[in-house]
Structure 1
């Protein structure tokens, strides 16, 4: 544990410098999660026991419509035993859904209509599923996710087994332990066991926990920061209470509209601020100056 929290690691340094979390979630309208046991490489869709041609084609078709493909596996031993695989399909905008299905051949997923999925249509595919948390544990991409993510999974996996999956890459290694909650796409960083319990309990009640929140994947990075700012100002925790609307650029910031389902609307100024000192955004990479998104509600 000591070596992964030292300031020489990307997560240790980002934590020590207090790098802000809002506006750092990966942008994805929807998620396709395929169970793939066994080892994962740096690019898991191409470097695992999954047929790399299938992984490449799934990624090509899905990403063309803003659907993100993840490999997942249950916590515990990772031997590839073959056999049927569980698949999760989720849409992350307000009013979204999560569906699950078991497939004998993952090539079946090439038959999905990703344009309709991105538009919020599941067309009866699979069965409704309860919320799940995908925790990034792929050590071939970053050692912070490997160590911190797996430590978290070991702590919570036993009593939350049906709700926890290990996953390949959620973005934001420097915020490890990092995780994505489906179906909402709300993404978290620097998670503790208590925060996992809070996030899953809130999701089961149709709410969102703000502790460690990085943003909702359905929105742009600026939209994520704007939504969180309004939530904090209102104390609003209903997951689907807010939607991000139009955005416009000025010389100094991005101005984002955030709408409440009760008809209220806010304009939020989101400013990108370059941070010092330079630091690696993933272990082993060159140091860069990251941007933090500072959001301020300017008018209702």
Structure 2
């Protein structure tokens, strides 16, 4: 039997640019669940009627608003403890730059198996977080790196994610062993909050350097999947501006629109909160030659993977860069 290459190795060997692969999230809920609970949450056929209702309501919310949400499962520091949730919403401080997410923590006496209550109360009915089952807990300053180590979903995440998680913890960076959130061909892949950046093909050394900002954005641009606060194609322009302005760019609130043209091209317009007022940038995004890559380390099937090119960036009148 032929042994398959890891999909992450195939992606790196092909020179895949991961930019534009970050999901677009208006908010993120992190459920602190023991690793065995991850499989139970992912087993749709085993959901209770209550759990099914929660996800049906979440689908309705996304369809009505067009705003997606992130769901991360992270192993708690103390296994077996009651359910805790961390809820991130796009916005300013505390505990994040204007361009990132605001973190709020909640503890409960609920068993971890009641994870659907955590989703309902953070994403569907936040008023339930005041009193009742939940107690607000102080949220710490600094970044959290959620590293996918979910090797049962894809072997690449177990192979490359676990050493990255261990290196971050050994360096004193707050890191979480996290279930699958998409993009295992980018292993080791991580979600950095509250900045909202997603990273690809991290090594243990590089992960620590990124977390400590010991490298410039230009040095790690090829490892950036994008900022989850923006639509995928807008993430290309956002990366360009991050490289131009440096890490301080992350302290700016940003929003963007994407216009699609009949020829398959797009125009991205991004406005940021600059030091002297709003700054607006525009650039075309054009399709590049796709890559033929496996979607999994466990199956040989390959499919085209989109690649994109950012055209000339224009600073619109009235912008004071």
Which band: TM-score by shorter chain? 0.7 to 0.9
User: Shift of the alpha carbon at 1:213?
Assistant: 1.5
1:72 equivalent in structure 2 = 74
Residue 12 of structure 2 is aligned to residue 23 of structure 1? no
2:85 equivalent in structure 1 = 87
Residue 313 of structure 2 is aligned to residue 298 of structure 1? yes
Q: Is the 8 A contact 1:209 1:237 kept in 2?
A: no
The structure number with the bigger radius of gyration is 2
User: Shift of the alpha carbon at 1:246?
Assistant: 2.1
Residue 298 of structure 2 is aligned to residue 284 of structure 1? yes
Per the normalisation by structure 1, the TM-score is 0.80
Q: CA RMSD in A?
A: 3.2
Residue 239 of structure 2 is aligned to residue 228 of structure 1? yes
Relative to structure 1, is the Cα distance of residues 196 and 137 closer, same or farther in structure 2, using a 3 angstrom cutoff?
A: same
Relative to structure 1, is the Cα distance of residues 237 and 218 closer, same or farther in structure 2, using a 3 angstrom cutoff?
A: same
Q: Is the 8 A contact 1:13 1:279 kept in 2?
A: yes
List, as ranges, runs of 4+ consecutive aligned residues in structure 1 with deviation greater than 6 Å.
Answer: 207-210
- Aligned partners of 1:70 and 1:153: how far apart in 2? 15
Q: Is the 8 A contact 1:89 1:100 kept in 2?
A: yes
| Structure 1 portions without partners, runs of 5+ | 1-5
Question: Please, which of 121, 144, 152 is the counterpart of residue 112 of structure 1?
Answer: 121
Relative to structure 1, is the Cα distance of residues 126 and 169 closer, same or farther in structure 2, using a 3 angstrom cutoff?
A: same
Q: Is the 8 A contact 2:242 2:249 kept in 1?
A: no
- Aligned partners of 1:33 and 1:113: how far apart in 2? 10
Q: Is the 8 A contact 1:26 1:170 kept in 2?
A: no
Q: Is the 8 A contact 1:23 1:225 kept in 2?
A: yes
| Superposed CA offset, 1:218-268 (max 9, x none) | 211101112112222444533132513222122241101122312221102
Q: Is the 8 A contact 1:208 1:238 kept in 2?
A: no
> SS state of the match for residue 19, structure 1?
coil
After superposing the two structures, state which structure 1 stretch, 146-155 or 99-108, moved more: 99-108
User: Shift of the alpha carbon at 1:186?
Assistant: 0.7
> SS state of the match for residue 128, structure 1?
coil
User: Shift of the alpha carbon at 1:55?
Assistant: 5.2
Q: How many residues are aligned here?
A: 279
Per the normalisation by structure 2, the TM-score is 0.75
2:96 equivalent in structure 1 = none
User: Shift of the alpha carbon at 1:25?
Assistant: 1.0
- Trace 1:29-48 onto structure 2 (pairs within 5 A): 29-39=26-36, 45-47=41-43
Question: Please, which of 143, 151, 156 is the counterpart of residue 168 of structure 2?
Answer: 156
